[in-house]
Amino acid sequence: MITKLTLKGWRSHWDSTLEFSEGTNALIGVMGSGKSSVLDAISFALFGTFPALSARRLVLEDVIMKRPQKRAEAEVRLEFEWNGVAYEIMRRIDRDGRRVAEIRKEGRLLDSGVTKVTDVVERVLHTNYDLFSRAVYAEQNGLDYFLTLQKGQRMKRIDALLRIDRFEAARSTCTTVLNRIRDSVRDKSAFVREMESGDGMRRVDGIESEMRELDGKRRNLKLKEMEIATATNKMEEEIQNVRKKEVEIRSLDVEKSRLLGSIRILETDAVDVRADVLAEKKKLLAEGMPHIQKQKETRDRKLRDLTNMRQRFEMAIEEAARRIEALKSAGAVCPTCEQPIDEAHRSAHVVEKEAHIKELRGNIEHALKHQADAEKELAESSELMESCREELHELDKRIALCEQAATKRKLLEENTRKLSVLEVRMAEMRAAMDGVSTDGLQDRLRVSSSALASLRTELRGVENVLIDRTNELARLRERQALFDKHREQIQKMESLADDLRKFQSALEETQTALRREFVVAVNATMSQLWETLYPYEDYIDVRLGVSDDYTLELKENAGDWVPVEGVASGGERTTALLALRMAFALVLAPNLRWLVLDEPTHNLDANAVEQLAEVLRDRIGEYVDQVFLITHDEKLEDAVTGYLYRLEREREKNEPTRVVRVMNPTTV
């Protein structure tokens, strides 16, 4: 039993809470007030979908409130009791497509996730969405839907309700497959007949015999080809060897000429020179050079010392002259000692300084004389040192020439020896080539190559014929294999067709049996319901008649069955249709004992509405535990035995739905 439903942001419901009880619960309101949204929410909470969504008449985002304020998400909470256990389901969706779902049992989280929650509900209720939407949930204006169907369509609809339309689809598929098998057997049989009437199969033995002969001929030609090719290769190698020897002899002649020229030159250059005498002289010269170098360095230092001495004397003269000028221009104070000075002392100091200058100039002249001598001595040492170096360099050159002459003497000996060996080799090669001619070898090679080319042409011809026969034999064998395969397939397909026809017949018998069992169960259930739902005696029973299609029939007290259409009054028609709807629910979902009716008064007159209200109020409770009634007809308020709600909404003002509780089970 469903006990409570809470809607937040669901269609026109801002935040609505509805409680339900056993018996008939009703939602009354004008069109667009949000009544059907409640039933959609119940179905969505249980199974994650509802008829308009599963039929793709709208998308899931459409159920999120858009007016008067756009909500970011919608949430549905449903509480129900089953076998004394309380369950609560919550499902939430947002505009980004995210979906959240969870189910609790006695307040404890049982599972979460959209699919997992649906699986739990189906296990608990022993009902899936397909069965719920077909047997329990009568969509808006759907109570008399059965009678609005044209004859010929009712059986299809009820077969779909029972899910036995799949048998019809399977039979149709069998027919399609049988037709395809028949066409395939016809095509394959034509191929088999063509193969049997042709001579292709008989040609296999002849082709195999011809191929054996051709293969023997090919092997013989291959052997001859190998013999001639081997002889030809040997001749080519022999010609190459002769040509190599000819080239080598010419090369040896060139080398001989070169060696003779080299020997003549070496004989001219290889003179005797006493390198040891030159080396000893170089040694003595090298040993004397350090003494000369030391003497040069000594004279160089002496010259630098004389130059420095002269420069010091010149600086002293400049300093004395400066002091004389300072004394002459000074007043009564000495510029040197800063003591008083008279003229006599000044003159004495000047005379003393001038005498010192004279002495210094004499020293300078003496130094210049010694400096000139030192420069001369240094020049002599430098010339001697340079002369030694040049003589040492010349000795090195002469020693190198001596060494080269020795090397040339050795090279002369080596070249003379090589010339002897070369002359012996040339004599041997000329002896080996005596009587051998490349022209004769070339003539023999042309004859052999011609024979080889002719043989290979014949061999290619044989191999091409052999390839053609091999391909032809492969095609024939492939057709033979296809022939055998087609015959085998024909047998299998004929056997399969027999099995399919048997299966098709079994499907038809099963479909008929299921339809018959369903009708028996529905009619038995309607007979029990009729006694309760219809208290009058003019019609004593109701049934679902079957001929070419289903008809809803009433049994007159005289025993005749008459169709509801065109005979029964509005009330009788409504009661019969309600019995049919309840029978469907009880037969297809016997454990659920719920019934959902959305606008059941469509096409009913006032009398029929009153009779429907009476049935829902007083007679239905024995068979159905809980009824959900959605209507705009206030006359059906009399049918309520549980909760009655009035749903109000001013659509032109984009207001949300207001849920007003009119009565509850304690006030009924």
Q: Using 50, 70 and 90 to split pLDDT, how confident is the model at 530?
A: confident
Of residues 390 and 418, the one with the higher pLDDT is 390
3-class secondary structure, 611 = helix
Res 614: pLDDT: 86
Q: What is the CATH number of domain 2-151+580-663?
A: 3.40.50.300
How much is the average pLDDT of 161-176?
82
Please determine, for residue 411, whether its predicted confidence score (pLDDT) is greater than 70. Answer: no
- Tens-digit pLDDT profile for residues 279-297: 777 788 777 788 878 888 8
Domain coordinates in residue numbering, the chain: 2-151+580-663, 201-267+435-468, 271-409
208-247: b (≥16 Cβ within 10 Å) or e: eeebeebeeebeebeeebeebeeebeebeeebeebeeeee
* pLDDT per position as a tens digit, 305-358: 888 888 888 888 888 888 888 877 777 777 766 777 778 887 888 888 888 888
CA distance 440 to 242: 12
**Residues present in the chain in total:** 668
Cβ atoms of 41 and 28 within 8 Å: the answer is no
C-alpha 207/C-alpha 290 separation (Å) is 111
Question: Which of 655, 648, 644 minimizes the C-alpha distance to 613?
Answer: 644
Q: Where are the alpha helices (DSSP H) in 330-437?
A: 343-432
Tens of pLDDT, residue by residue over 588-601, are 888 888 988 888 87
The CA distance from 553 to 101, in Å, is: 45
Determine how β-strand 644-648 pairs with β-strand 23-28.
Answer: parallel
Q: Average of pLDDT values for 190-205?
A: 71
Per the CB < 8 A criterion, the answer to whether 374 and 303 are in contact is: yes
- Distances in Å between the Cα of 261 and the Cα atoms of 176, 250, 409, 599 are 107, 17, 15, 133
Question: Which pLDDT band, with edges at 50, 70 and 90, does 430 fall under?
Answer: low
Residue-level pLDDT at 143? 53
Mean pLDDT score of the chain, rounded to an integer? 83
Strand order in the sheet with 137-138: 137-138, 594-598, 626-631, 23-28, 644-648, 658-663
Q: What is the DSSP letter of 70?
A: -
Sign of CA dihedral 123, 140, 668, 583: negative
Nearest to 26 by CA among 668, 659, 637, 660: 637
Q: What is the torsion angle, in degrees rounded to the nearest 10, for the CA atoms of residue 390, residue 392, residue 393 and residue 398? A: 130
Mean pLDDT on 378-406: 78
Q: Taking Cα atoms as reference points, which of 18, 72, 84 lies closest to residue 45?
A: 18
Q: How confident is the model at residue 275 (pLDDT cuts 50, 70, 90)?
A: low
Distant-in-sequence, close-in-space partners of 440: CB < 8 Å, separation ≥ 6: none
pLDDT of residue 653: 84
What's phi and psi for 272, nearest 5 deg?
Answer: -85, 130
Distance (Å, rounded) from C-alpha 90 to C-alpha 121?
Answer: 12
Question: 271-409: what fold?
Answer: Helix Hairpins (1.10.287)
Measured in whole angstroms, the distance separating CA 561 from the mean position of its chain's CA atoms is 70
Q: Which amino acid is at 402?
A: C
Strand 108-112 to 539-546 pairing: unpaired
pLDDT tens for each residue of 561-615: 998 887 888 778 888 888 888 888 888 888 888 988 888 877 677 887 888 888 8
Closest listed residue to residue 648, CA positions, set 62, 38, 28, 75: 28
